[in-house]
Structure 1
Amino acid sequence: MAALVRLETRLSRLREEYFLKNRSVDEDRKIVYKAAVKIQSWFRGCRVRAYLRYLNKMAISIQKWWRGYQSRRYFRKMIKTAYFIMKMNFYNEMAVRIQKRWRGYYVRKYTHNYYALKKYLEAISLNNEIVRNELQEYAEMNEKKKKKKDLEKKEKEKKYKARKMHYLLSTEQIAGIYNSPFRKFPDPMELLLRQSKPLSHRQQQPKSPFTYDLYDWPTCKRPPAFPTGEPLPPIGRQKPQGPFRDAAEVLRQRYKPLEPTLRVAASISSPLEKAREEMKREEWRKCIHDNEFLPFSSYHKNEKYELSIHASEKIGKETYGIKHFREVQPNKWIAGK
């Protein structure tokens, strides 16, 4: 009972404390809620980041093992390929050596004989020496012929020059330019002038303007020369090879008569217009003039001159260009005009 009494005495005070505590709790509720939310978010973030780090670490480990496996596999394959290439190169090199030795032996034994080749080369060298000597002799002979021709040409030119300059020959009265009195002996040109004869002046025949280039017309001394060649071979009448039609059918189609259409055959103008045009042409062709054409001037002397329409008008001719339009006052003239 004493406890109940004490509880009843404290009841009013408990109510006040309960009310104060509830009010203080309501005031701090939002702050506490925000703090709890922040703590939860940080905790969940740390847990998620730790899990992501774990996943990233595991992925890196898996990739490392897989890439290592792939690299080792590729390296083994590359080593196998390199080893195969090395073996093939060695095999080819040894095969080339064997083939070289065998072909050399076969060629030396069955194809080329060393002593026969030596004799052949000696014969070629001897033949070359003979040909070289013959060519040397031929070149010397040509050189001599050329020199001889040059000397003959110079001699001819000298003789022609002497004949052309024969007027420079010395006479009994006057010495020539090649026979100087200050020399003991005359010049060789003087001796050549004495031996040669002067050139004769040839008169050129005037060429007639009526001469024909083809042959000497009108004298007809020689017949015209036309180029004559061999006759051409006849053309074969065989049918040409290919998808061609018969020649008779082609000619029949080529020379068949023209069959114009109705539009081409019909005239553009009507029959009435054509008849009118024909009538006009007929009238113009059969037209007769009554006035005869007399070209003599004496025939028109007795005819009366008929004025033209412009001259026969009542108004008369225009005075422009005939009369002056200035004002004339004869009373003021000083002298009579």
Structure 2
Amino acid sequence: MTDRWERSKAALNAALEQEPSKRERFIERLCRSDPELLAEVRSLLDAFDDAYLEVPVAKLTGHEKPPPRMIGRYRVLERIGKGGMGEVFRVADPEGKIFALKRLPRELVTEEGLSRFKREAVAASSLEHRNIVRFIELVEHEGRPHIVMEYLEGRTLKYYLKDEKPLDMDNVFAVSIQLAEGLESAHAKGIVHRDLKPGNIFVTSNGSLKLLDFGIAKLVDAVSGTDVTKLERITRTGQILGTAEYMAPEQALGEVIDARADVFSFGCVLYQMLTGRSPFAGENVLEKFGAIMNSDPESLRQLVPSAPEPLAFLAESCLKKNANDRPQTMTNVLSELRKARGVQLLSAGPRVLT
């Protein structure tokens, strides 16, 4: 079993080194003599849901049409990703400038799916920050909405954590400070991300960090979230949107959430960068929810004795079960990060993981 897993992991790592559009052909060649291994690696790639450029492109079938040559005024160059809430294409405008364009898969073109997708556009259009992917415009084509955004080259944070190895401390601070700055900006506009995870944190080829995918972002009335009478929910009763192992307890319970849910998810990401592993692991979604609701993560002081004590304390504070016990805003988090770092954040932001 261990040998099998090592072979699968090695094949996955090799596939992830390829350009997204070339991965399927690569693993077919690599695993041509082992159909079971091929199926396992495909499954692992499908689970590697990075929601942007690192999502493996699903194989086209006879039931799925190839992408159109034009979407609005944009010329489609290639399909570069496909995730649960949208396909992503590399496109060019009439002047030849390159952008990323995201649209709903046909199977999700329902009243609810369209509502969520348009909400993403509303959220994205109000966000202007160097650590948030830049929204360009919303276009309609053949009855389907499409979001045009800046095209990014690089990797998601999930790629850098794929071997379950921690980041060095300089990169932990560089990523966490930029991430906190982007979230602080979104929260100031009343927007909660709701699905913060390494796959939604993009590190560009020049080392800057960009927050991706506000597809399940929730517009709230205030940063504190205490005035819940004016909240407009975007989920059906009982439906949970988010990724299990990074989800705050109140979100896992399907309760109304506020910016402190992102503080919890930030704590999960920070813990993983420090240790190489998630604070709330499990074999399936139910086990992960159970850990989030009932278990405390292993002490960072024991796992990473070299971590600055203020940083370990901050990460564990963000992971408190009760939202009232966490840092109440990302501004509080940023303040503690800067104290832990021991230096003032440069206005241009740190460079990371180049």
**TM-score category, normalised to shorter length:** under 0.3
Instruction: Name the structure where strand makes up a greater proportion of residues.
Output: 2
Task: Return the index of the structure with the highest Cα Rg.
Answer: 1
Instruction: Name the structure where helix makes up a greater proportion of residues.
Output: 1
Name the structure, 1 or 2, with higher relative contact order (CA <8 Å, separation 6+). 2
